[in-house]
Structure 1
Amino acid sequence: MNLFTIFVPSPSSLWTTIRPGGAFNIACSFAALWALIKVSRMLRWRVKTTQLLGPTRTSLVYGVSRDLISSHDRAAIYERWATEYGVVYMIPSVLGQTNVVLCDPKAIAHFYARETWTYVKTPLTLAFLESSTGKGLLWSQGETHRRQRKALTPAFSNAAIRKLTSVFYDSAYKAKGQWDNVIESSKDDEVVIEVQNWMNHISLDTVGIAGFSHDFGSLDGKRVSVAEAFDTLGNNPPSAVGRAVFLLASVFPIILKIPNKRQNLFKKLGITMEKISNELLIRSRREKDANMSQGGEENSLIGLLIKSEDQDAELHMSAEEVVAQMKVLLLAGYETTSISLTWVLIELSRHSDVQTTLREELLAFGPDPTYDQLKANLPYLDAVVHETLRLHPPVPESTRLAAADDIIPLSEPVRTVSGNMTDSISIAKGTLITISMEAINRSSTIWGPHAKEFKPDRWLTEDGIGGKAKEVQGHRHLLTFVDGPRTCLGKDFAVIEFKTVLSVLVKNFVFEMRDGPDTPVEIVWGVLPRPRVVGEDGTGVPLRVRRYE
């Protein structure tokens, strides 16, 4: 008899065996095996991970996650828990999961130094990024991330950004010209302008020209499909049910594949960005061939991407990766800069004295500053920009998964569940680690008693940045651009664009909140959290704008 027939029954005989209830038994066996694996991992986690104090769960299903995701000030909750439980603590999360929250500069520096290798993106984050931007720089990890980042780095060098400064000015002056026309056609000396929409236009046109040598023309009133897709997301924030589904997806990422309104909008945005990226790639490949025949050279980001498509390129990227990088740049260039520009106009409208001081510095300086002057010669502009980035980081928090066991050092000891004090914590493989960049940037313990206030002057004196804040590693002691191997590649691009646009607008216009300096502003979610004046639709931020005479 054939041994194969003894050990591997035919499909028909197998079906005969399981048909009377065997299928149910097999399903139960798989469920039991799954449960056994989960329990064994949980036991290992409890043995290998330092058990820390933290808040009690408020929901059997969601832990405290639903409280956080529905809060208007998540950072304040994280900070309150740090005061109560110590610089690191544990919070109960979805379906029995536990997150370790780091609020200690030394622990955070250790974490970021090992991000993308020891600490990696969660399955939920990977699934979301792959579906929206593809397998580009935001999605990639480890060696793949190192290769992609190295290929893109020349496009964000000081020399490259110095050449792009004129592009930033062009977009700012286009907006100025349009606003001048609106004011001239008005019967009054001032008009109400919905500034967030204009900041979106500036950001989109800038990233199009600077990154892809393509003018989307949104400042000229052209309809741009990708801008409409972003706006649609901003006008449709997640519902309570949508937030609950997203939380459950942290345990079962496959839930993201279940169609719902918001998921469909993200899918539409991804398709739109991919279509635009492919069109720009086709055009740029043709121009590259023409330039080569004329001895020309393409130095934009898209030029680097096209070079990386060559099979012989040292840092080769697949066609899928190239399109993904373009989608990442569109997303990051559009969302983050426009959010920061909107926030600074809100803060200047609330603080007329700061706005006046900034305008005086800019006018006293004279002509439009160069790249090097923007970096070094305008201290108050620099202070206003970094105070905005401190209070309003576009990405407020992140959660990572430990891919290996680790020991995280602390700058001060914390009490464990057993009552012992420890100056380091053990982290087991599979542990979830959360850092609230917003909470660290605004922490009173780190930044002093006025941490929640908009005070650019803190950046101008030697003792303005306290000792604890100086322990925070990252760009200017901020976590806005994170740190380590995944430090935002475009941070210098973003800061110079921010300074350029702000300098033009503040020199030429005066900004006020439409309904007074105490007008309440809330947070709504588009792709990222955006400000909105309470009572407005979508992401509306109407300000009173008049020419500065």
Structure 2
Amino acid sequence: MQLYVLELICIPLATWLVHKLVVKRLRNAYKSTSLAGPPSTSLLFGIRASDGLLRGDPNKMYEKWEKEYGSAFQVPGPFWTKQYVLLDPKALAHVFSRTPFGYTRPGAQMFLRIFGQGLLSAEGETHKRQRKALTPAFSNAAIRSLTSIFFDSAYKLKDVWDSEVQSSDANGAVIDVQQWMNKTSLDSIGLAGFGHDFHALDGERSEVQKVFDSFALAPAVGKFNGVITFIVTFLPGGLFMRLPLKRVKLFTRLAARIREVSEELWRKSKVEGGNDEKENKVRSAIGTLLKAESASTEWKIDVDEINELILAGYETTSITMTWALIELSRHPEKQERLRKELMESFSARDPTHDDFTSGLHYLDSVLRETLRLHPPVTQLIRTAEEDDILPLSMPLKNASGMPLNSISIPKGGQVVVPIRALNTSPTLWGPDALEFKPERWMDDESGLTEAARAIQGYHHLFTFGDGPRICIGRAFAGAEFKAVLSVLLRNYIFELRDGPQTPIETIMTILPRPKVAGEKGYAVPLRVRSTTST
């Protein structure tokens, strides 16, 4: 069915696309640097026909190509297009510094159509204004006031798990931790973001959660990924949303459910925002923004901002917490080191926000290492809005073998930022780049290579992006992660149900999620025991 649908889409567009692309190709050939890279294997798909890139781990292909072609190379895309894949920190710093003006996101109109004109879909001056207005909700002062909410969710989760562990045998309870990280994340973003309780940890399954979970059962677009992505860059968002594909329908359904919740939360927040007594009782990001809104005439909060806070705050944090529990289960000695750090100072009380920001260095290192190895967003694509020249920090040769010290990118050229490949590149991170090693971040990052230290991203990572579009909620997510992990590690011991060598796969939902190989959906069953039972 999907093949038939895509044929109907591609054939009517072929003549127009060929004309457009031939003209564009001739212009770009004159304006751009010709880099080495893998050959095209298909007119329709470009390199996307390779099972190694599509169905395997894309990071493995990027690592292979980095060894063959260097820190920047070109990859064929559909219909004679090409993308410039960058693993050079200096070139990437230039790209991120020019965002959101010099480089924009392809398919932004589709995102705008689905979720509205929020920060994630805005570009240029609109993005700049919205980001400035949203900043108070993600300041240190704001997050300090929200930390207790993250602990409340963590302890509600503990109450549920205590019952399961106590009713199990001496080996502990087998718990699908990813499902519970999802529930914890949804309740946390609801309460800390908007003062709304989704009651996911109480057993209620909201419509929003149902749609999020449906993505695990929807087929990925598979080998048509490249063509679909390519079409998105040309089609208006409204036309793309009419494609009769299951995942497109799920995005439409998700957008509708989130909008229903967002409109209710927006109305509730506007009413309570005018009541000082209620506002003081319910701390939330939206409450902070309402205070800022009342003092400003430049920008007003709308439903679109709530849409994106739910979308961005739920998926990414639950994925990161799940990966952390997997890695700590794989490495019991590191799990024990983290537990010891927490218990030495916080056996009788919870850490404060200040404890998280100025102490608990191993917990912070576990967070950084999880974000390095398992970024929720594995790659970004940006389109040059004008001709540009990218500086290079590492030696590189063009397709003819001539040395380069810069790369010319034509207007309309697409740049790929392979975040996970960057975070795990042996060239940048050393021979242990693929190992889970929180110790590399300890003692003033003494375990980092010189090349890694030179990366200017947040904590030397591109996981949150960089520049004017760096993730505004990174500190919010970090505080939630640390609060939840600090409660769980002080109370439970985690093991992979089938042993530390259990194979872990990824499945594409909205973002790539981990799963234990052979399990349905994205289940991650861990064996959970109480720390007091040992």
* TM-score of the aligned structures, taking structure 1 as reference length: 0.89
1:112–1:347: structure 2 CA closer, same or farther, 3 Å change rule?
Answer: same
**C-alpha offsets along residues 481-509 of structure 1, whole Å, 9 cap, x if unaligned?**
11000000000111111111101101100
Amino acid at match of 2:94: H
1:17 alignment partner in structure 2? none
1:209 correspondence with 2:191: yes
1:523 is matched with which residue: 497, 506, 509? 506
1:504–1:488: structure 2 CA closer, same or farther, 3 Å change rule?
Answer: same
2:72 alignment partner in structure 1? 88
| Whole-Å separation in 2 of the counterparts to 1:152 and 1:412 | 37
Amino acid at match of 2:111: L
SS in 1 for 2:174: strand
Tell me, yes or no, if the aligned pair for 1:62 and 1:247 is still in contact at 8 Å.
no
1:285 correspondence with 2:259: no
Tell me, yes or no, if the aligned pair for 2:45 and 2:224 is still in contact at 8 Å.
no
1:369 correspondence with 2:335: no
1:98 is matched with which residue: 82, 107, 131? 82
When Rg is computed on C-alpha atoms for both structures, the one with the higher figure is: 1
**C-alpha offsets along residues 260-294 of structure 1, whole Å, 9 cap, x if unaligned?**
211111111100000000011111222223338x9
2:255 alignment partner in structure 1? 270
1:498 alignment partner in structure 2? 481
Worse overlay, 355-364 or 32-41: 32-41
1:471 correspondence with 2:423: no
1:131 is matched with which residue: 110, 113, 124? 113
| Whole-Å separation in 2 of the counterparts to 1:147 and 1:255 | 28
1:386 alignment partner in structure 2? 368
2:95 is matched with which residue: 71, 93, 111? 111
SS in 1 for 2:459: helix
Amino acid at match of 2:352: T
| Whole-Å separation in 2 of the counterparts to 1:228 and 1:179 | 22
SS in 1 for 2:463: coil
2:306 alignment partner in structure 1? 326
1:260 alignment partner in structure 2? 245
**C-alpha offsets along residues 116-151 of structure 1, whole Å, 9 cap, x if unaligned?**
1111111x2x13312332221110010000011111
Amino acid at match of 2:179: N
| Whole-Å separation in 2 of the counterparts to 1:396 and 1:380 | 24
**C-alpha offsets along residues 200-244 of structure 1, whole Å, 9 cap, x if unaligned?**
011011111111011111111122111111011123241536646
| Whole-Å separation in 2 of the counterparts to 1:482 and 1:247 | 20
1:141–1:244: structure 2 CA closer, same or farther, 3 Å change rule?
Answer: closer
Worse overlay, 378-387 or 235-244: 235-244
2:125 is matched with which residue: 143, 156, 168? 143
- Unaligned 5+ segments in structure 2 are 1-12
1:300 correspondence with 2:284: yes
| Whole-Å separation in 2 of the counterparts to 1:31 and 1:541 | 44
1:305–1:477: structure 2 CA closer, same or farther, 3 Å change rule?
Answer: same
1:72 correspondence with 2:52: no
Matches within 5 A, 1:132-531: 132-188=114-170, 190-240=172-222, 243=225, 246-250=228-232, 252-253=234-235, 254-291=239-276, 300-306=284-290, 313-317=296-300, 322-366=302-346, 367-461=349-443, 462-531=445-514
SS in 1 for 2:468: helix
| Whole-Å separation in 2 of the counterparts to 1:391 and 1:407 | 30
| Whole-Å separation in 2 of the counterparts to 1:91 and 1:35 | 19
Tell me, yes or no, if the aligned pair for 1:245 and 1:255 is still in contact at 8 Å.
no
Amino acid at match of 1:534: A
| Whole-Å separation in 1 of the counterparts to 2:216 and 2:69 | 36
1:33–1:334: structure 2 CA closer, same or farther, 3 Å change rule?
Answer: closer
Q: What number of residue pairs does the alignment pair up?
A: 513
Shift of residue 257, structure 1, vs aligned partner: 2.5
| Whole-Å separation in 1 of the counterparts to 2:79 and 2:17 | 15
1:295–1:69: structure 2 CA closer, same or farther, 3 Å change rule?
Answer: closer
| Whole-Å separation in 1 of the counterparts to 2:91 and 2:47 | 23
Shift of residue 353, structure 1, vs aligned partner: 0.6
SS in 2 for 1:75: helix
1:42 alignment partner in structure 2? 25
Tell me, yes or no, if the aligned pair for 2:110 and 2:240 is still in contact at 8 Å.
no
Amino acid at match of 1:354: K
| Whole-Å separation in 2 of the counterparts to 1:241 and 1:472 | 33
Worse overlay, 61-70 or 137-146: 61-70
Amino acid at match of 1:108: L
Shift of residue 305, structure 1, vs aligned partner: 5.0
Worse overlay, 174-183 or 64-73: 64-73
Tell me, yes or no, if the aligned pair for 2:176 and 2:523 is still in contact at 8 Å.
yes
1:360–1:237: structure 2 CA closer, same or farther, 3 Å change rule?
Answer: farther
| Whole-Å separation in 1 of the counterparts to 2:283 and 2:340 | 37
| Whole-Å separation in 2 of the counterparts to 1:406 and 1:415 | 18
| Whole-Å separation in 2 of the counterparts to 1:64 and 1:418 | 21
1:295–1:280: structure 2 CA closer, same or farther, 3 Å change rule?
Answer: closer
**C-alpha offsets along residues 24-81 of structure 1, whole Å, 9 cap, x if unaligned?**
xxxxxx9988755543322221111111111101222111124365232111211221
SS in 2 for 1:64: helix
| Whole-Å separation in 1 of the counterparts to 2:488 and 2:449 | 32
SS in 1 for 2:350: coil
| Whole-Å separation in 2 of the counterparts to 1:250 and 1:265 | 16
- Unaligned 5+ segments in structure 1 are 1-29
Amino acid at match of 1:503: S
Tell me, yes or no, if the aligned pair for 2:387 and 2:408 is still in contact at 8 Å.
yes
CA RMSD for the aligned pairs? Answer: 2.2
1:188–1:132: structure 2 CA closer, same or farther, 3 Å change rule?
Answer: farther
1:200–1:35: structure 2 CA closer, same or farther, 3 Å change rule?
Answer: closer
Shift of residue 344, structure 1, vs aligned partner: 0.5
1:295–1:330: structure 2 CA closer, same or farther, 3 Å change rule?
Answer: closer
Worse overlay, 231-240 or 41-50: 231-240
1:454–1:277: structure 2 CA closer, same or farther, 3 Å change rule?
Answer: same
Amino acid at match of 1:331: L
Shift of residue 252, structure 1, vs aligned partner: 4.5
Percent of matched pairs sharing the same residue? 46
Shift of residue 184, structure 1, vs aligned partner: 2.0
1:403–1:533: structure 2 CA closer, same or farther, 3 Å change rule?
Answer: same
Tell me, yes or no, if the aligned pair for 2:195 and 2:283 is still in contact at 8 Å.
no
* TM-score of the aligned structures, taking structure 2 as reference length: 0.91
Shift of residue 91, structure 1, vs aligned partner: 0.8
